[in-house]
Structure 1
Amino acid sequence: MQDIRRAALRNPAAPAAAAAFAGSRPVLLHRALAPAATCPRRSTARSPRTAPPGVRADLAANPAIGEELMRATADDPTPEVRRGLAANPRAPLDVLASRAGTAGAGATLPPRIAAASPAEVEASACSPIPAVRMLAAGRRDLPHTVRDRLADDPDAKVVKAVAGLSDTPLRAGVERHGVHVLAAVAADPDAAPALLEDLARHGRPVRKDFRVIAQHGDATATALLVCLEHPGARRWAAGHPALAPPVAAGLVADPDGQAAEAAAANPALPPAAVADLLSGRGGQRPPVRRESR
């Protein structure tokens, strides 16, 4: 019966019935009402702070709740609720800006920022608050002047958020901020193959960096060889089509089962090696040697 009621609460044709469940229990029924487009404002405004966090989060993400309740939600002590507000396409821009450092939205571009006007984007990019500049930096359609200014930002988090940069500012960002932006630069779809090689040979990369490089579509065979030396990136490098065919052939017998499977599915694998695998002659792993006690 609860499943049926949850389905009815999500029905946009039943606003009157939904009002009766604004303070309902169990929580699942209340959560079903919070995201509804027909969610009655008077009912939801009665007890947003007394509702469970999950309900408040769904409510904060609902474009139908109105600006007054959105502003009240911005002060909610629960991160889940503030993330819900950040996902609301009608959230006031000044509210998002004032709570940018505490919303916890991660790398996801808030819908309100994606829909911001050029003047709003320019204002956000010039904000004295790094978290606000970081929000603006996530747009891929920034004017070159704004994008270059953000790429030269003194805050590494802002530089990491900038997308669509050319080779020169990407290298400049790595030179200025080092390992703090290396993974973000490696994940940029515009990162050049030569830059990826340089990143793989960087003096102080961390394990995540090698995985990101190995997953990049433009990674070179040279960069992939470096990535193969690191367990966290080995399986990704083993399955990359840019891997040298002899290297791929050698990996089908790798002790790392995930790397061996990735190499077996790699289009760079020589046809003869594929035939050996299908006939049962290839992919035999060497026996594990046990030390005598």
Structure 2
Amino acid sequence: MATDPGHDVQRSVAHNPRVPLEVIIRLAGTAKIGRALLPRVAAASPAEVRELAGSPDPAVRMLVAGRRDLPPEIRDALAADPDAKVLKSIAPHPGLSDRQLRAMVDQHGVRVVTKVATNPDVSPALLEHLTRHRPPVRKAFREVARHHNATAPALLACLTDRQARPIAADHPALPPEVIADLLSDEDWQVVEAAAANPSLPTSLMSKLMPW
């Protein structure tokens, strides 16, 4: 079945949790597997993880980089991979340093910015840096806007993007005076998010309460 070129057959084979690992390796570069973590890769043994991470094929390395429980030495090796596909897959992995994440952006720019913004450990300073990237990466604004480490300057930048604006309006790090201004925004989703923001001044909250 792994050699069947029919619609979605190879992809379905790759997602089968009982597929042999060698079949996954063979399909990685040819089948449209996608970026989702495959069940067989998620269940790979430590020895199999090392095999996948050391593959000469970046499509194979990308698959194992999708795991979020990699040993530090393998995680760090994949974080220094020269291929952007691998970096996009490993960028959200917990435990990566700002130096590693910034190096990804310096090396591949717009191709990895959004994924770097999803890393749970990315620093406030790096999030601000991502919002200043040129050319801007609009999808990254949405990720920065929902990140718990986002700062006021980063959130103000996110407010310039139409899709990120409602997300940023709900972030507690947004300055109270900005939240107050958003209560009169022309977008009802922004108004609703600002009204629910926990940093909204109490005096304004009382005015919003129905009587």
TM range (shorter): over 0.9
Name the counterpart of 1:134: 62
The number of residue pairs the alignment matches comes to 208
| Two-structure CA RMSD over aligned residues (Å) | 1.6
| Cα distance, 1:79–1:101 mapped onto 2, change above 3 Å | farther
Q: Is the 8 A contact 1:107 1:161 kept in 2?
A: yes
Asked if the contact 1:214/1:227 (under 8 Å) is kept, the reply is yes
Q: Judging changes above 3 Å, is the alpha-carbon distance between structure 1 residues 278 and 211 closer, same or farther for their aligned structure 2 residues? A: same
**Residue identity opposite 1:94 in structure 2:** E
Q: Which residue of 1 aligns with 2:41?
A: 113
Indicate which of 112, 137, 160 corresponds to 1:181: 112
1:243–1:169 CA distance, 2 compared to 1 (3 A): same
Inter-partner Cα distance in structure 2 for 1:185 and 1:78:
35
Determine which of 117, 125, 128 is the counterpart of 1:197.
128
Find the aligned partners of 2:18 and 2:140 in 1 and give their Cα distance.
36
Give the letter aligned to residue 90 of structure 1. R
Identity among equivalent positions (%) equals 57
CA displacement 1:23-65 (0-9 Å, x = unmatched): xxxxxxxxxxxxxxxxxxxxxxxxxxxxxxxxxxxxxxxxxxx
Q: Structure 1's 83 and 270: CA in aligned 2 closer, same or farther, altered over 3 A?
A: farther
Deviations for 1:148-205, whole angstroms, at most 9, x for unmatched residues?
1111111101011111212110011111111100000001112111111111111222
Which structure's relative contact order is higher, taking Cα pairs within 8 Å and 6+ residues apart?
A: 2
Whose radius of gyration is greater, 1 or 2?
1
Q: What are the equivalent positions in structure 2 for 1:97-246 lying under 5 Å apart?
A: 97-162=25-90, 163-164=93-94, 165-246=96-177
Structure 1: segments with no counterpart, 5+ residues: 1-71, 281-293
CA distance 1:81–1:254, change in 2 (3 Å): same
Structure 2 gap segments, 5+ residues each: none
User: TM-score when scaled to structure 1?
Assistant: 0.67
Query: Any conservation in 1 of the 2:21–2:40 contact (CA below 8 Å)?
Result: yes
TM-score by length of 2: 0.92
